[in-house]
Structure 1
């Protein structure tokens, strides 16, 4: 049911062009997954998400288990039927919440114990229970439960979390019962290249359908993220997809594609869109700024999204008037922009001009 077909490798970088085949359709890589944490990409209908060019979306195990509850999702036909998305879905395991909700959880070898941020109820999330929840959700890709720690951290803390992540990955693999779900392991190891390489090698020895690089984009400098990614990807199986979790800015996507990454997710397009921040080839646009008050131009002349049928002046008015249409339109634009960047990357890889494509984008963004 799952296959990853590599069709081309860029001549001068580590960029790869491929297709990840799933039961709910193919995912063109390199590709970007919009984040639908609670069964929805915030402020955007599922048809609008599809219109941006997205092939695959992401949901979150921890949040959906709390509300509406994974058994409720199962009774509603699974996450695909409940949300109306008929393409592939990847579900995170709850591992990131070990990091983001560290004030309300406790990690032991057996499990993570959370106190619900909604009603204070205690939740015991084991690797086995994380898989059980994701099987009820019915996603195409199940992520293993991993132990994510804040960086920087003492080496012994990073080593302990990495080793636990490997043990938990095996427990997740052993607990899985569905043949129609792919399972992805997650490489940990902080900012230590040797630990990352060790973790990647140990996980690669297990029979996973894909591999993720986790625990990055948590406050470290972009150069550190690139360094770790570059050290990790050569240790992962060539014939399986590689996913960099929670990343990031458009420049981060392209720099990571150059280092052999195939899949990405991030809340940045929609979160920034809700706050009046638009992505364009000429760099970011802050729509609340007065300079846009009477600007009749669209955000981008060649963008096909519905937001770009309107002027910058109108979009600014929507934000200043606190009309909900403003965040909706700008979220759609940003999601469309990310997909356009990825489509351009795929085309450039096929033509062996990915380095030139990155240089052109960086020049436009002022990143050169």
Structure 2
């Protein structure tokens, strides 16, 4: 994959982002985290973010090969393990402002309880998303069981991460933090507290800091909007300094090491491990399980919780394979088994005091 240059942290309120000169991850200078931007700030963005792509999008030859091979779903044997997929819904942990806890609703949807806030990541509570068969496991957290949602973070605009029917359930004054260019989508749906961020920018809410960080992915929601909005992940930092990294949807690459250098001491990384086969088609935009373990190490994360598997059938690997492979890769890397939080859909874990 072709490495792209890192965006420079803004030093003013200028709406047009600037870019720092490209350099290898091992030698690039690192600025301290940016000062938080104002909540609900209205900004003007470039017409396209194509220059942020890590690798070119598939061309006509790749599209023709994909159509010819037709490998978009597992075979019968690969689907046979659907009844064995881990599903164990339980009550959300009782927490206070000093506690960090995560609960997996499925796919990339988490309820992160941090600094006294409940934050939803890429909330998808729908049974079906556009162009994809229905869920193969139910939602792990009943919507009615959620405490008040204090904020929502969105990684990018693909339908399995940005779900209009789910978002319509939220009060329209819910704080929503989104990638650059995606605010208009929310404003059209009458959300009133929407903050758009570029890579390496941040916002604060009630003492919790939200940093938007790069990912190896892309964006598209219609035939005419490819890369018109940005994509990325989030680093959530509690008032006591504990950190959770939510990677969104991403391939493996140099950004993980750079995120880890700029935000040291990540306590937990929520990393995608599914939707990776065939590799020739998906390697640039989706980690496989072994790459996810490498990404956790690059981040310097103390723990990893796998996600983006066991929910929707998006690619050709057997449905249970991501779990078996990530466990094997974790063991091969010599990492503590207790630090792999391979939760069932609906499962929760509490980050104990350090």
Q: Normalised by the size of structure 1, how large is the TM-score? A: 0.31
Greater Cα radius of gyration, structure 1 or 2 = 1
Relative to total residues, which structure has the larger helix share, 1 or 2? Answer: 1
Question: RCO (CA 8 Å, sep 6+): is it higher in 1 or 2?
Answer: 2
